[in-house]
Amino acid sequence: MAGNCSRPVKAVIFDLDGTLLDTESLVRSVSATVLERHGAKLTPDAEKAALGRRPLEAWQAVIEVLDVKGSTAQQLFDESEPLLQARWPDAHLLPGAERLLHHLHAKGVPVALATSSSRASLQRKLFTENKRHILEQFQAVTCGDEVAEGKPAPDAFRNIASQLQLDPADCLAFEDAPSGVDSATAAGMRVVVVPSLTNRLAYPKPEIDAKSGCCEVLSSLLDFQPSQYGLPGFEDLICGVTPMHPPWRLVGTVVKGFGRGSKELGIPTANLDNSALQAVLAETVTGIYCGWASIGSSSETYKMVMSIGWNPFYKNTEKTAEPWLLHDFPEDFYGEQLRLAVCGYIRPEANFTSLEALIARIHEDARISRSALQDPLLVQAQRLCMTAG
């Protein structure tokens, strides 16, 4: 069993960037652009050093890792900030964020935010029509410019515990960045890690019964089980499927994949071009999902089940989206536009001991999808994939 109830949780504290909100992909893109102007290239080590820190401290970490000459953290911040401010409204909530926040709020569990973002940046990130309600659910908020020391120092999380008048040991923190995990751990809190770095070795090894520090590492907030921490459990599963709030819409061109779907698995999947993924999903978003699909100019919809990720069994080096449309088609449709409405989450990616076990699990995922997609709540998502474009 993951997680622990040895000391039931009385409040849940979230980081923002990379945990609730997909700002990391925007930051990565802007940072790479700014660094190129200064003759440097963003590397995974530089990303790891900067992740979760306050902006000036993040840029200073990047300068030190990359040995950027002739530039200060303030200069790089001044160049990057206008580019980021223009893009903050485009940042999406990460999978499971809205569901978890709404659930905890509805059950009367205190929810708080400990972010490295400045108060002004926080307002710009969340004060959009579809995200403004998120900020209203927090009973306490601490921003990076409101504490003496930023993450990995414990100031932000200690400040939140003080505002809530709780012992830090009674709080459960959610973090995506190694520096944030260190911060919450130093404050004396248990930490659920939802990594925004693909390199899991950058994070502490989870200890299920930890009294503080990393107690669980999840692929997504959709995998979190509140009851394992003494919190009210979810009550929204449909045939074992987690409804997506809101559903995603993915649009892309069908491209040739690895050639193993029909040949090795007997399962004809339709690979989407990578640009479709990069435009909508954070790099670390993976899992098995269900929903609806439409092809080309047709408005006809088909049930589908889809894997997103690196497929641990085949050890892919490139992230893919491989939907299996649960319908027999007379011919291939390479080059056609494929529109997907992803409305349900089935499970995280997993490895298998044999090809037969993988095939059996895919067919079980299809069975679950067919059943869940008969529910009226998930049927509503069909409209998202009917219109071309």
Strands, sheet with 213-217, edge to edge from the N-terminal-most edge strand: 140-142, 111-114, 11-14, 171-175, 190-193, 213-217
DSSP structure class, residue 233: P
CA distance to 15, 80, 219, 356, per residue, from 351 (Å) = 29, 40, 14, 12
- pLDDT of 207 above 70: yes
Asked if 27 and 127 touch (Cβ cutoff 8 Å), the reply is: no
pLDDT at 258: 58
pLDDT at 267: 87
| Structure-token pair, residue 330 | 């007379």
| DSSP states along 260-321 | -IIIIIS----EEPHHHHHTTS-TT--EEEEEEEEETT----EEEEEEEE--TTTT-SS-EE
320-348 in b/e form (b: 16+ CB < 10 A) is bbbbbbbeeeeeeeeeebbbbbbbbbbbe
What pTM was estimated for this model as a whole?
0.88
pLDDT at 273: 80
Give the tens place of pLDDT for each residue, 90-100.
888 999 999 99
- Distance between CA atoms of residues 197 and 177, nearest Å: 8
Average pLDDT taken over every residue of the chain: 90
For the annotated catalytic residues, the residue numbers are 15, 17, 322
pLDDT at 2: 47
**Cβ neighbours of 103 (radius 10 Å):** 20
pLDDT at 262: 56
Q: Can you tell me the mean pLDDT for 236-250?
A: 92
- pLDDT of 374 above 80: yes
Q: Give the count of alpha carbons within 13 A of 224, CB side only.
A: 28
Give the tens place of pLDDT for each residue, 7-60.
899 999 999 999 999 988 888 889 999 999 999 999 989 998 998 899 999 999
Query: Given pLDDT bands bounded at 50, 70 and 90, which one contains residue 257?
Result: low
Asked if 168 and 187 touch (Cβ cutoff 8 Å), the reply is: yes
Give the tens place of pLDDT for each residue, 63-77.
999 999 999 999 999
Question: What CA dihedral angle connects 365, 375, 99 and 209, to 10 degrees?
Answer: -50
pLDDT at 313: 78
- Distance between CA atoms of residues 240 and 306, nearest Å: 16
pLDDT at 263: 58
Query: Given pLDDT bands bounded at 50, 70 and 90, which one contains residue 193?
Result: very high
Give the tens place of pLDDT for each residue, 154-176.
999 999 999 999 999 999 999 99
User: Please, which contacts does 305-310 make with residues 24 or more away whose CB atoms are closer than 8 Å?
Assistant: 305/346, 305/362, 305/365, 305/366, 305/368, 305/369, 306/340, 306/342, 307/349, 308/277, 308/281, 309/349, 310/286, 310/349
What percent of the chain lies above the pLDDT cut of 70? 95
Query: Given pLDDT bands bounded at 50, 70 and 90, which one contains residue 1?
Result: very low
Encoded amino acid at 270, one letter: A
pLDDT at 334: 85
- pLDDT of 259 above 70: no
Give the tens place of pLDDT for each residue, 318-329.
788 899 999 998
